[in-house]
Amino acid sequence: MQFRYDINGLRAIAVLAVVIFHFNSQWLPGGFAGVDVFFVISGFLMTSIIFNGVEKNSFNLFKFYNARANRIIPVLAAMSAVLLIFGWFYLIPNDYRDLGQQVEKSSLFISNLLFAKGGGYFDTAEHTKWLLHTWSLSVEWQFYIFFPIIIIALKKYLSFTNLKRVVIGLFLASFTYCIFATYKDSKTAYFLLTSRAWEMLLGGLAFLYPWSIQSKIKKITAQSLGLVLIATAYVLMSKETLWPGYMALIPVFGAYLILVSNYQNNFVITNPAFSYIGKWSYSIYVWHWPLVVVGFYFPFDDWWIYGIPLSILLGFLSYQFIEKINFPRYSSWKDIYKIKPFYIFLIILACSYSIKKMDGFDFQKNLRLSQVSDQAKFLKFYEEQHKNLYDTYWLKCNTYSSLTDHNTYKIDPSCIQKKGDGGIFLWGDSHAEALSFGIRNILKSKNIPFYQKTSAGCRALLTESDNLKDLFKKACDHSNKLALNSIIKLKPKTVIIAQATDHDKTDWGKITKKLLDNGVSNVVLIGPVPQWQPSLPQTIIKAQHWKKTSKFISDKNLDLKVIEIDKIMKSRNFPKKLHYISLIDELCKLSSDKTHYECRVRPDNTNNLIQVDYGHLSKDGSIFVVNQFIKDFLLSLDSSNN
């Protein structure tokens, strides 16, 4: 195949969009769709190699894999090695262990499966994962593995024409599944080959069924429409768009139109700048994301000013000194020992696996300076606090804990055992549990009965949960049924409901009516607490906060989504007996210039934090929040005859 200047320019358009989006998503809210454009290009090129070889009976599967390894592994390995060396000096054991795991999975090209278990590509917490961007490389490599095997296997039974029709069938199957999977669970669908293969297969169809366009005007028109579609996706799509569902068809079809138009003289995409950036695009993509994460770990203002040029510079250097190395290609599996990238892969894999298994080299001998720093000890302290919340949170009432630890739905009977008339019932997820100690503390002296039914990750619902999977769903559905049945039986005077987020997605009127119809006098809904990504302790060890005892801080690690949820909740009209308490109002305030929020991180002027992780209250935090913002209102409800 002759060099395609349009494809090279399209690479530049794709990688620049991704880089801009990651450094400042407000500039290009749909820039993440650049990855979708990359998938189409990759599918086009790989299909051309596979089908040209199959048609001529010259396709060699081992040589194909060898070529892909030569192309992908060296740059990825170099970036991974740099991060592992950096981590040795600067990352605390937990973070270094996580980095080791990410390098291990990316080396095996299964990092997409690891990240699919996380909070989602657009979650702030994901932006502290050094190799998050390798999910797309894993998806591509998985496509490289399975697609040629399928074609070779079917070649024995089908004609060349029918083989091409198989690609159409695979495209339709993957696209249909993608729409379903995105609607069902977009956070998981985002990362998986099954819901992404159609994008590469459409690129393949652009090669298998080329358009016969002779007119220059028609070629320019098709290519221009493709550019408009891609630009539309970059500008109009956002993190809020369900992706990669049917909306992904906009940039994907745009890339498809550019490929089938096959017009090589459009200055918009074949200009000299895009020509160079297109050549460096793979290296730019690989190196840019760690630079983005650096901006989260260290307090650099306007990091994009340095990060974007550095990404391009590293991409250029990586292309010149790594990508241009001409590794030999071999045709036989017997020659696998001759493939140099294979040894690079083994070395990186062994190092990363060792780091993961040794808990980030968390040894008593203190081999690494970052392991014995004050910051590392500080984080270790809060990690231990997080592990020792059983009694504070009354985890004996947590159905998920019961299932995972004891393989039973049974909880401690004292959680829902009648202790007298009236009382207070706590219902919700682990954020409800975080309030438990403070609430129990004030009720004990007042002789007011207290009950608790909670389960990790489980918001209060009258119906089965629709956004949870596996044990979480089983535990949640059982927990909510038991909570409701217990409330009906116990008839507490007040039900307190609390959860981490998604307050705006629940029909609180229906829940309130159900509870009031069954003897409850008042329902108190607690709004979300401020949340920090990846965690409050991680935020506090930043240079601008470290060794200070400010009660309020401002930091870009603050998750603004929960503040928006709180605003939505405060704007709603609730039933008379449903009382909403905004903790954001109590714990956060707008800065004097109204450009950012400052939120409370300490109950007093000591170094003790209100929260032990991203948002769960510490023991001191639970006492402080309940005593300061919930206690008086709860006691007034209990003493009321209404």
Matching residue, tokens 């794709």? 14
Question: What confidence score (pLDDT) does residue 593 get?
Answer: 81
Residue range of the domain that includes 628 = 382-639
Residues 484 and 518 grouped into a single domain:
yes
Q: How many domains does the chain have?
A: 2
Is 364 contained in some domain?
A: no
Question: What confidence score (pLDDT) does residue 372 get?
Answer: 63
Beta bridge partner(s), residue 494: 424, 522
Is 209 contained in some domain?
A: yes
Is 374 contained in some domain?
A: no
In this predicted model, what pLDDT tens digit does every residue of 448-506 receive, in sequence order? Answer: 999 999 999 999 999 988 777 778 889 999 999 999 999 999 999 999 999 999 999 99
What is the rounded radius of gyration, in angstroms, for the C-alpha atoms of the chain? 28
In this predicted model, what pLDDT tens digit does every residue of 178-189 receive, in sequence order? Answer: 999 999 888 899
The 10 Å Cβ neighbour count of residue 119 is 13
Residues 386 and 351 grouped into a single domain:
no
How far is residue 255 from each of residues 19, 215, 244, 260, 513, measured CA to CA in Å?
A: 18, 20, 15, 9, 52
Residues 446 and 570 grouped into a single domain:
yes
Is 362 contained in some domain?
A: no
Last residue of a domain, one of 357, 390, 425: 357
Of 355, 350, 357, 444, give the one whose Cα is nearest residue 394. Answer: 444
Min mean pLDDT across 61-65, 123-127, 195-199, 534-538 is at 123-127
- How distant is the alpha carbon of residue 549 from its chain centre? 31
Contact by Cβ (8 Å): 415, 453: yes
Residues 350 and 424 grouped into a single domain:
no
Question: What confidence score (pLDDT) does residue 562 get?
Answer: 93
Residues 389 and 338 grouped into a single domain:
no
Question: Is the pLDDT assigned to residue 231 strictly greater than 90?
Answer: yes
Question: Is the pLDDT assigned to residue 111 strictly greater than 70?
Answer: yes
Of 304, 275, 272, 276, give the one whose Cα is nearest residue 291. Answer: 304
Question: What confidence score (pLDDT) does residue 366 get?
Answer: 56
Q: Find all residues with CB under 8 Å of 410, minimum gap 6, and list them.
A: 402
Contact by Cβ (8 Å): 115, 189: no
Question: What confidence score (pLDDT) does residue 585 get?
Answer: 95
What is the share, in percent, of the chain residues with pLDDT greater than 90?
70
Residues 349 and 454 grouped into a single domain:
no
Both tokens of 642, joined, read 């209404």
Is 509 contained in some domain?
A: yes
Residues 164 and 115 grouped into a single domain:
yes
Question: What confidence score (pLDDT) does residue 363 get?
Answer: 63
Is 366 contained in some domain?
A: no
Beta bridge partner(s), residue 398: 454
CA torsion sign for 20, 22, 24, 29 is: positive
Burial of 433 (0-12, 13-18, 19+ CB in 10 A): buried
Contact by Cβ (8 Å): 458, 480: yes
How far is residue 96 from each of residues 235, 362, 370, 376, 586, measured CA to CA in Å?
A: 36, 9, 10, 11, 36
Its pTM stands at 0.81
**Segment holding 552, helix H or strand E:** strand 552-553
Is 235 contained in some domain?
A: yes
Dihedral angle computed from the Cα positions of residues 499, 502, 503 and 504, in that order, rounded to the nearest 10 degrees:
180
Q: How confident is the model at residue 122 (pLDDT cuts 50, 70, 90)?
A: low
DSSP 555-581: -TTB-HHHHHHHHHHHTSPPPTTEEEE
Residues 348 and 489 grouped into a single domain:
no
* Calpha distance 443→494 (Å, rounded): 12
Looking at every residue in the chain, the average pLDDT score rounds to 91
Question: Is the pLDDT assigned to residue 338 strictly greater than 70?
Answer: yes
- How distant is the alpha carbon of residue 551 from its chain centre? 30
Question: What confidence score (pLDDT) does residue 642 get?
Answer: 45
What's the whole-number mean pLDDT along residues 170-198?
94
Which of 268-277, 351-360, 544-553 has the largest mean confidence?
Answer: 268-277
Residue type at position 442: I
Both tokens of 593, joined, read 């210039």
CA torsion sign for 106, 363, 545, 584 is: positive
How far is residue 182 from each of residues 167, 187, 447, measured CA to CA in Å?
A: 22, 8, 50
Last residue of a domain, one of 342, 357, 372: 357
In this predicted model, what pLDDT tens digit does every residue of 18-50 receive, in sequence order? Answer: 999 999 988 999 999 999 999 999 999 999 999
* Calpha distance 631→245 (Å, rounded): 46
What's the whole-number mean pLDDT along residues 287-296?
91
How far is residue 336 from each of residues 76, 131, 260, 316, 330, measured CA to CA in Å?
A: 20, 27, 37, 30, 8
Is 296 contained in some domain?
A: yes
What's the whole-number mean pLDDT along residues 129-142?
96
- How distant is the alpha carbon of residue 190 from its chain centre? 9
What's the whole-number mean pLDDT along residues 295-304?
76
418: left (phi over 0), alpha (psi -120 to 50) or beta: beta
Question: What confidence score (pLDDT) does residue 472 get?
Answer: 84
Contact by Cβ (8 Å): 211, 190: no
- How distant is the alpha carbon of residue 447 from its chain centre? 45
Residues 330 and 472 grouped into a single domain:
no
Matching residue, tokens 């004030």? 442
Q: What is the 3-state secondary structure (H, E, C) of 171-202?
A: HHHHHHHHHHHHHHHHHHHCCCHHHCHHHHHH
In the three-class reduction of DSSP (H, G, I as helix; E, B as strand; rest coil), residue 590 is classed as strand
Matching residue, tokens 């940039």? 251
* Calpha distance 213→257 (Å, rounded): 12
Both tokens of 481, joined, read 């049924």
Q: Are strands 597-600 and 522-526 parallel, antiparallel or unpaired?
A: unpaired
Dihedral angle computed from the Cα positions of residues 568, 115, 137 and 107, in that order, rounded to the nearest 10 degrees:
160
What's the whole-number mean pLDDT along residues 573-579?
91
* Calpha distance 478→398 (Å, rounded): 11
CATH code of the domain in which 421 resides:
3.40.50.1110
Contact by Cβ (8 Å): 273, 9: no
Residues 340 and 461 grouped into a single domain:
no
Residues 331 and 393 grouped into a single domain:
no
Residues 177 and 278 grouped into a single domain:
yes
In this predicted model, what pLDDT tens digit does every residue of 586-636 receive, in sequence order? Answer: 999 988 887 889 999 999 877 899 999 999 999 999 999 999 999 999 888
What is the share, in percent, of the chain residues with pLDDT greater than 70?
96
In this predicted model, what pLDDT tens digit does every residue of 46-92 receive, in sequence order? Answer: 999 999 999 999 999 999 999 999 999 999 999 999 999 998 888 87
